[in-house]
Copies of this chain bind each other. A is one copy, B any other.
């Protein structure tokens, strides 16, 4: 069954919490696909995602065409359908600001391109880094960000600066008319309402682990 039908799917009807889970399902389905699986039951998919089966069935009701009673879901078709509805069925051109250790690691991270996020330019304000080649890209002066974003038709920005430079990096991205920012710097940034920001905060997660372990030992 071709995913063409999905053009009629009204993505705006999908609740925000479902979106988060759909992103997880895509990841798990892609792993299953790479391992050579063709079909998966909702029970097994639920288990692999640590979500309960009724939740999965409800979430995937938006993609009802891809479920076959007694068989399960066709993995490749389901991936295409979810990706299309999430807007990740095409490449997102991405720039990175802050070529420190973490920035370098992300530039060398093969999964970005594999998953449809192509980092096509890297910026830093450190004169010792400008001109350096990292993972096939020449590090550019942050002052050239706006010019480059327009030239290359970039959609997303990643911030990997130290916390005290995150806001300045965000300002550059906003001025360049970027509408989505993934911020790895451990600092909050302020942007206009029309710009979406997601935070990747390791410490949030570490604090949560520390808290739950502390609590479980107290009990």
Q: Is A188 an interface residue (CB 8 A)?
A: yes
Instruction: State the Cβ distance, A46 to closest chain B Cβ, in Å.
Output: 12
Q: Is A182 an interface residue (CB 8 A)?
A: yes
Instruction: State the Cβ distance, A52 to closest chain B Cβ, in Å.
Output: 15
Beta-carbon contacts of A76-102 to B below 8 Å, as 1s and 0s?
Answer: 000000000011100010000000111
Task: Kindly state the interface size class of chain A when it binds its partner.
Answer: 35 or more
- CB-CB nearest in chain B for A48: B188
User: Provided the pairs A203-B23, A214-B87 are in contact, do residues A102 and B92 lie with their beta carbons within 8 angstroms?
Assistant: no
* Residues of the B chain whose Cβ atoms lie less than 8 Å from the Cβ of A194: 216
* Residues of the B chain whose Cβ atoms lie less than 8 Å from the Cβ of A204: 20, 23-24, 27
Q: How far is the CA of A50 from the CA of B100 in the complex (A)?
A: 27
Q: Which A183-215 residues have a C-beta within 8 angstroms of B? A: 186-188, 194, 196, 198-215
* Residues of the B chain whose Cβ atoms lie less than 8 Å from the Cβ of A196: 208-209, 212-213, 216
Q: Is A108 an interface residue (CB 8 A)?
A: yes
Q: Is A165 an interface residue (CB 8 A)?
A: no
Which of A22, A104, A203, A215 has its CB near the most chain B CB atoms (within 10 A)?
Answer: A203
Extra contacts, 5 of them, besides A101-B104, A182-B205 (Cβ < 8 A), are A24-B201, A27-B188, A31-B188, A48-B188, A111-B203
